[in-house]
Structure 1
Amino acid sequence: MSIGFLRQALNTLQKQSRSRTSHRVNQWFKWLSPGLSIKRWLLISVGGVLLASLGLAIWIKLTPIFWLIELLRGFLGVITDILPNYISGPLVLLGGLLLLLWGQTRTVGSITKVLRPEGQGGQEELIDVLLAHRRLYRGPKIVVIGGGTGLSNLLRGLKTYSANITAIVTVADDGGSSGRLRQEFGVLPPGDIRNCLAALADEEKLLTELFQYRFRAGDGLTGHSFGNLFLTAMSDITGDLERAVAASSRVLAVRGQVLPATLSDVRLWAELADGRRIEGESNIPKADGKIVKIGCIPSNPPALPAAIKALKEADYIIIGPGSLYTSLIPNLLVPEIADAIAATKVPRIYVCNIMTQPGETQGYSVADHISAIDNACGHRRLFDAVLVHKKSPSAQTLLRYAQQNSHPVFLDREAVSLLGRRIVPANILYEDEIGFVRHNPQKLARVLLRWYSGAHHGR
C-alpha cells in the first residue's frame, strides 16, 4: 500500500513538474511574439558583441586571441578524447543554452519585481503585461460622446479592447455636488468627468469607491463627492478643467483620455409643448413636460480643440448611451462637435437607452430618440446605425419602473428604416440586485467592436 502511495505521489509530482515546465517554456516563447520589438534588439545586441570582439581582435593584432583559441582547441581535444564529439558537443551546447535561459529568466524576474512589486498587479507575468499593452495600444481610435452613468458604464467595457479611447463629456450639469461647486467656485461641473476617469483607470474598483465617496459630515462638505473636490482642486492648481483632467489622468493611470466638450460655462434650456421655458439641466426632467426644443446659453459655445482633433482622427464614433436631452444632446449643441462628426466617414453608431426616462423621453420610441438628435443638430445624420436591446427586462423590474412612469423603449423598425438607420439588435441588458436596468459593459463593448469590424471591412 505504501509503495502504491509513493508511486502515485511521484506521478503527481512528475505531472506538476511537466505542467510548470510547459508553462515556463510557453512564457519564454511569448518573448518571440511579433510586434514586441524584442527579437530585433536581441539580434542587434548579439551583433554588437560580435562586432566589438572583432574590433578588439584587430586592435591587438590577434596574438592573444590566437593563443586563447589554441588553448581552447587543446581543451576541446581533451574532452573529445574522453567523450566522442557527438556526445560532448550536444552536452556543452545544452549547458550553454540552460545557462542562457537561466540568466534571462533571472533578469526578467528582477525587472518584473521592480516594475510590478508584489501586491501591485497580482501574479500576471511581465510578458503577458507587455503583450496586453501592445494589443491595447494598437486598438482602434474610439471616440465616445455622452455623459452620466451610461457613458462611464460603456467605457468600462471598451477599455479592454483599446487604450485609444477619447470620451467627450457634457459640462451642462448643474445639480447635486457638481452644481454646488459650480456656483461656489465658478468651475465647470466635474461629476460626469469624474465618473469617466474612474471607469478608465487601471485600478478601477478602488478608484471608483474613492471618487464616489460622499462626505456625510463636515461644515460645507456634506453631500460632496471626493472625486468632485479632487477635480475642483486640480482645476484651481492647473488653471482650467482641461489641464486638470489631463493631470489627473496621469496621476490615476487612465487608459485613454477624457475631454470636456467645451470650456464655456454652458447652461441648458428647454421649451416644452405647453409653452413653458425651463432653464438648468437639473430642472428640465423635473418640469414633467414634453420637450419640443432644446438649446444652451451661450448659443454657440466653442469646442475644445482637443475634442475636435480626436473626432477628426477617430476610427470609430459612438454616441450614448445616456439621458437624451441632458447628457447626449448638450455635447451636440456645440456646433463644431456636430460639424466634425457629420464630416467624418468612419463608422458611427448610436447606443439607444433601454428604458424611457421620466421628464425627458416618456413614450419615446427608438425613432423618436433618433429624430430628437437629428433635430438638435440641424436635421443632419450624425450616425449610420442604432444599437437596440432585444429582450425585455424581467416582470418585477418592469413593474418597478412602471411605478415611475418608465417603460422599455419601443423599437419601431419601419420608422427607423425611414430615417435611414441600420438596426443592430443585441442582448446587452444587466439588471442589478435592486432592479436597476443598465447596459452590461462587457457585452455592450463586444457587440460594438464586432459591428465596427464588420462596418470597417465593409467600407
Structure 2
Amino acid sequence: MSDQGGLTISRPLRVPDPVRLARYGRAPELGPTILFFSGGTGPGPLCRELIQYTHNSIHLITPFDSGGSSAVLRRAFAMPAVGDLRNRMMALADMSVRGNAEVRRLFSYRLPPEADARELRQRLEDMVEGDDPLVAAVPDPLRKIIRNHLGYFLAEMPDHFDLAGASIGNLVLVGGYLNNGRHLDPVVFLFTKLAEVRGVVRPVVNQDLHLSARLADGRLILGQHRLTGKNEPPLSSPIVKLGLNQGLDQERPASAAIRPKVARLVATAELICYPVGSFYSSLLASLLPSGIGEAVAANPCPKVFVPNTAPDSEALTGGVAQRVAELLGALGAQEGARRDGGRVLDYVLLDRQWQGYPGGWDRRSLEDMGLGVIETELVTPDSAPLTDGRLLAEALLSLV
C-alpha cells in the first residue's frame, strides 16, 4: 500500500509472492529499492540472497564501531569506523563469474594476528609494491588503484600502529579516506566499483563519534564494544537510553545530523526495513542522527521491522512489543507509528511457527500500536535460531 498526495493504492499481499520474485530474478539490475538501517554482520546472509533479485538496495550503516581492528584504526586516525561498511559491501559483492573474485579475496583477507611487527610491515610493503601474491593476482588497472590506496595508508601509518589481524579491505578504505580529504563517500564509491558491489552502501554520518548507553542501574557505558559482550563482560542492566559521545574516556554528549544526500537516499526507497541484528548498537545506533525520523516519515513507502529470532546480548528485558516501542521512540513517533510528516513503521514481519522470539510477542499489543503483523516462514531447521537469508529476502521483496 502507498499513499501519494492523498491517493491510497492497495494491492493484495502475498508473502512470499512467486510472481514478483520471478520478475525480479530475471532482471535484478532493475530490482526494487529496499533501504536498510543497520550495521554489523547480522544482515549478511540476507544481503547475499538479496542480490539475486535486486542490485538497487540501499544500506545506511552505523560508523560507531569501537572494537577489534576498527578501534585500532580509529585511535590512529580519529575517524569513523569502516569495518561495518566493508562487511556490508563484501556481503553485496557479485559472487558470480562476472565479479572480481581476486579483489574480493584481497579485501576479505586479514594479516596474521600471530606475526611480529616487522613481518607485518614487510607484508604490507610487498602489497604496495605489487609483489604479494594476493595483490599480484588482481588484474590491472584495479591492481594499481589498490596499491595506490594501500600506499597512502602506509605513508600515514604511525610507527606504533599494530597491523596484527588488520583487514586489507579496511586499510584500502582508510587509505582512500585519508587521500580524499577525510571524506568516506568517494572511497566507498570506488570500493563498490572495485568489488562489483550490487547495491549502495553509505555511512549514515561521517563523524568520528562513539555510542553512549545509560543503563537502568544508572551506569553510563561508553563505546559500542562495551555493549555487545563480545570482548567485554555482558551487560547486567538493561539499556534505557542510547546516545552519541565524543571519545571513550569521559561523558561528552554529541549530536550529528544526516546530510542532504542521505535524506535523498531515504526518499528514493520503495520499502524501508529495520532488519535483524544487534538491536541497540546496530539498528538504533543508525537512527540516532537527527533528520532520520523526518526523512523516513516523509517517504510514503511501506516500512517493516524484522525482530531478532535469537537472544540479543544487548536486549536484556522485554519482547517484540518493547523493541517496537523503542524503535518508534527512536524515530520520533508520537501517536502510535506516526510522527509529524507521516508514518515511520507499518508492519512487523514474524515467523508464523517460531516459538523462540526473546520475550515472546503478542499480536494485540502490536495491532494496538496501529501495526500490521505479517506471518510467514523465516526460520528453517538449518538456520535456527536465526532467520534464513533466502526466506527473509523473498518476504521483503514480496512487500514491494
TM-score, normalised via structure 1 length:
0.62
Identity among equivalent pairs (%):
32
- 2:54 is matched with which residue? 162
2:348 maps to: 386
1:424 to 344, 365, 374: 374
**Distance of 1:377 and 1:299 partners within structure 2:** 18
- Secondary structure, counterpart of 1:429 in structure 2: coil
Residue of structure 2 aligned with 1:237, choices 179, 184, 187: 179
Give the CA deviation at 1:196: 0.9
Is contact 1:294-1:376 (8 Å) kept? no
| Equivalent residue letter for 2:332 | G
Q: Which residue of 2 aligns with 1:341?
A: 296
1:269 aligns with 2:212: yes
Aligned residue in 2 for 1:33:
none
State yes or no: 1:438 paired with 2:386.
Answer: yes
Mapped to 2, the partners of 1:437 and 1:230 lie a distance apart of 35
CA distance in 2, matches of 1:269, 1:344: 29
- Going from structure 1 to structure 2, the CA distance change for 1:228 and 1:451 (only over 3 Å counts) comes to same
Range 442-451 or range 236-245, more displaced: 236-245
Distance 1:210 1:437, change over 3 A: farther
CA distance in 2, matches of 1:132, 1:438: 25
Task: Give the structure with higher Rg (CA).
Answer: 1
The separation in 2 between residues aligned to 1:320 and 1:133, in whole angstroms, is 22
1: CA distance, partners of 2:52 / 2:324: 28
Q: Paired residue for 1:307, among 247, 254, 262? A: 262
1:214 to 110, 122, 141: 110
Aligned mates of 2:317, 2:40 — CA distance in 1? 21
Q: Which runs of 5+ in 2 are unaligned?
A: 1-22, 118-161, 229-233, 246-252, 338-343
1:198 pairs with 90, 94, 116, which one? 90
Moved more, 152-161 or 316-325: 152-161
1:133/1:151 CA distance change after superposition, 3 Å: closer
Q: Distance in 1 between matches of 2:104 and 2:38?
A: 19
SS class of match (2:59): strand
**Change over 3 Å in CA distance of 1:251–1:411 after alignment to 2:** same
Q: Which runs of 5+ in 1 are unaligned?
A: 1-130, 399-406, 453-459
- Equivalenced residues, count: 307
Give the aligned residue type for 1:266. L
Aligned partners of 1:162 and 1:429: how far apart in 2? 22
Change (3 A) 1:437 1:180: farther
Distance 1:303 1:138 in 2: 27
User: 1:287-334 CA distances to partner (integer Å, 9 max, x unpaired)?
Assistant: 321111111135431213322111112111111121111001111111
Alpha-carbon contact 2:215-2:239 (below 8 Å) kept: yes
Letter of the structure 2 residue corresponding to residue 183 of structure 1: R
CA spacing shift, 1:430–1:327, aligned 2, 3 Å: farther
> How far is 1:132 from its partner?
8.6
Q: Indicate if the aligned counterparts of 1:366 and 1:409 stay in contact, CA closer than 8 A.
A: yes
Match status 1:373 vs 2:327:
yes
Give the secondary-structure state (helix, strand or coil) at the position aligned to 1:349. strand
The AA in structure 2 aligned to 1:439 is T
- TM-score, length-scaled by structure 2: 0.71
Q: Does 1:283 align with 2:221?
A: no
Contact 2:104 2:195 in 1 (8 A): no
CA distance in 2: counterparts of 1:357 and 1:343, whole angstroms: 31
1:409/1:218 CA distance change after superposition, 3 Å? farther
Work out which of the residue numbers 9, 17, 33 in structure 2 matches 1:141.
Answer: 33
* 2-structure distance, mates of 1:267, 1:171: 9
SS at match of 2:27: helix
How big is the shift at 1:448? 1.0
3-state SS of the aligned residue for 1:148? coil
Secondary structure (helix, strand or coil) at the match of 1:258 reads strand
In the alignment, is the contact (CA less than 8 A) between 1:171 and 1:190 conserved in 2?
Answer: yes
1:361 aligns with 2:315: yes
Task: Verify the 8 A CA contact 1:272 1:291 in the aligned structure 2.
Answer: yes
Q: Distance in 2 between matches of 1:332 and 1:156?
A: 24
Rounded to whole Å, the distance in 2 between the matches of 1:365 and 1:147 is 21
- Post-superposition offset of 1:409: 4.9
The equivalent position to 2:42 in structure 1, one of 129, 143, 150, is 150
**More relative contact order, 1 or 2 (CA 8 Å, 6+ apart):** 2
| Contact persistence 1:264–1:302 (CA under 8 A) | no
Question: Are residues 299 and 421 of structure 1, via their aligned partners in 2, closer, same or farther at CA, if it must alter by over 3 Å?
Answer: farther
Give the superposition deviation at 1:241.
Answer: 1.4
Partners of 2:359 and 2:86 in 1: CA distance: 28
In angstroms, what is the RMSD of aligned CA positions? 2.5
Partner residue in 2 for 1:228 = 170
Give the letter for the 2:44 counterpart.
S
Q: Which residue of 2 aligns with 1:174?
A: 66
Question: Counterpart amino acid of 2:46?
Answer: L
- Over 3 Å counting, the alpha-carbon distance change for 1:249 and 1:218 in structure 2 is farther
